[in-house]
């Protein structure tokens, strides 16, 4: 009897050891599979006429990603607000939007990271008024209707322009169209007195309407930077790919600076916009992407504080809290 108990004991011991060994092997294989899983698709959001649109048209990122076994899927958004919704909803992994879009998203406590910034482009925003309106300078905007996408870079530059001559955001009647196309329509039909806009739509309004440009250029040190954003999951899990994308943006930007006429031709065809309009947009800017520096954060924080002051965001935010630093 003792002999049989001893044999059974040995049998059960080997069974337990074998089971533990199999569990260990399964876990090891699972870990190996997870670590070996390469990201196969990166979803990138872009807007018409911006640097990511140029990157898309050049094929620089697509070709480089293909060598890594990755497919780039491009998603078009009408403006920065909808693109940011794509970011924090996880519909896209990476995208590009103006400064105000990031501020509003953070004020709504949405998850995202700032991962890079464009070179300043102060001439890419401005205000136009129809000549027949009699408006010739910023001072004439008092009590007038001004159209702008709410919280956009051109909205902010308009507020700064008003303040620079002693007016405030409350001294005009703001009209908020849904997008740039609607803004242009209500401007041309006289439903608003002036239009604040951004390139290429601002350049189009300057060239295609009988208008006068009220402001165009740096106001109160405003750089008009647009930013590169990523989901927290994509940036945290794939910091190498974030850096990879930014490197390819820089490559595309360098090419764009050296080949502006080719960029004009490509973008004019892609956008279906007059070559002269795209030429005006491209020739008044310098392309280039960089990491987020303290100076860039400071300018963005100043803008966020102004948005709080004039009621465009409901709470105070600390921009630095959303700046991506995990670059391991």
Structurally, at CATH architecture level, domain 123-216 sits in: 3-Layer(aba) Sandwich (3.40)
- pLDDT tens for 263-316 read 999 999 988 999 999 999 999 999 999 999 999 999 999 999 999 999 999 999
Q: Poorest-confidence range of 24-28, 55-59, 101-105, 242-246?
A: 24-28
Region for residue 177 given its phi and psi (left: phi exceeds 0; alpha: psi -120 to 50; beta: otherwise): beta
- pLDDT tens for 71-99 read 999 999 988 999 999 999 999 999 999 99
Where, residue-wise, is CATH 3.40.190.10 in the chain? 42-120+225-322, 123-216
- Structure tokens that stand for 100 in this block: 């105000």
User: Alpha helix locations (H) across 51-152?
Assistant: 51-58, 60-67, 80-88, 99-107
Fold of the 42-120+225-322 domain: D-Maltodextrin-Binding Protein; domain 2 (3.40.190)
pLDDT confidence of residue 278: 95
Residue 244, pLDDT > 80, answer: yes
Give the residues across from 72 on adjacent strands: 42
Please state, as a whole number, how many other Cβ atoms lie within 10 Å of the Cβ of residue 325. 12
């Amino acid at each position: 009897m003792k002999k049989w108990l001893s044999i059974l004991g040995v049998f059960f011991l080997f069974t337990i050891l074998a089971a533990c060994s199999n569990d260990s092997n399964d876990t090891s294989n699972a870990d190996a599979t997870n670590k070996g899983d390469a990201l196969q698709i990166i979803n990138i959001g872009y807007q018409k006429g911006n640097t990511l649109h140029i990157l898309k048209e050049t094929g620089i990122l697509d070709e480089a990603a293909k060598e890594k076994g990755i497919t780039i899927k491009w998603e078009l958004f009408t403006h920065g607000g909808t693109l940011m919704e794509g970011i924090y909803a996880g519909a896209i992994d990476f995208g590009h939007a103006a400064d105000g879009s990031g501020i509003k998203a953070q004020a709504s406590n949405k998850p995202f990271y700032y991962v890079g910034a464009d070179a300043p482009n102060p001439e890419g925003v401005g205000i136009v008024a129809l000549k027949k309106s009699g408006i010739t300078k910023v001072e004439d905007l008092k009590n007038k209707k001004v159209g702008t996408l709410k919280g956009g870079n051109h909205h902010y530059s308009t507020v700064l322009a008003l303040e620079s001559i002693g007016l405030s955001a409350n001294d005009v009647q703001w009209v908020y169209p849904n997008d740039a196309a609607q803004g242009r329509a209500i401007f041309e039909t006289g439903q608003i007195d002036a239009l604040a806009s951004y390139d290429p739509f601002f350049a189009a309004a300057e060239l295609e309407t009988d208008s006068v440009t009220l402001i165009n250029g740096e106001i109160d040190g405003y750089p008009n930077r647009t930013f590169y954003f990523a989901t927290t999951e994509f940036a945290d899990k794939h910091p190498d790919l974030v850096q990879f994308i930014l490197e390819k943006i820089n490559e595309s930007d360098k090419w764009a600076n050296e080949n502006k006429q080719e960029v004009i031709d490509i973008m004019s065809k892609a956008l279906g916009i007059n070559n002269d309009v795209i030429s005006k947009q491209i020739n008044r800017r310098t392309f280039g992407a960089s990491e987020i520096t303290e100076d860039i954060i400071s300018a963005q924080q100043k803008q966020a504080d102004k948005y709080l002051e004039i009621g465009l965001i409901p709470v105070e935010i600390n921009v630095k809290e959303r700046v991506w630093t995990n670059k391991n």
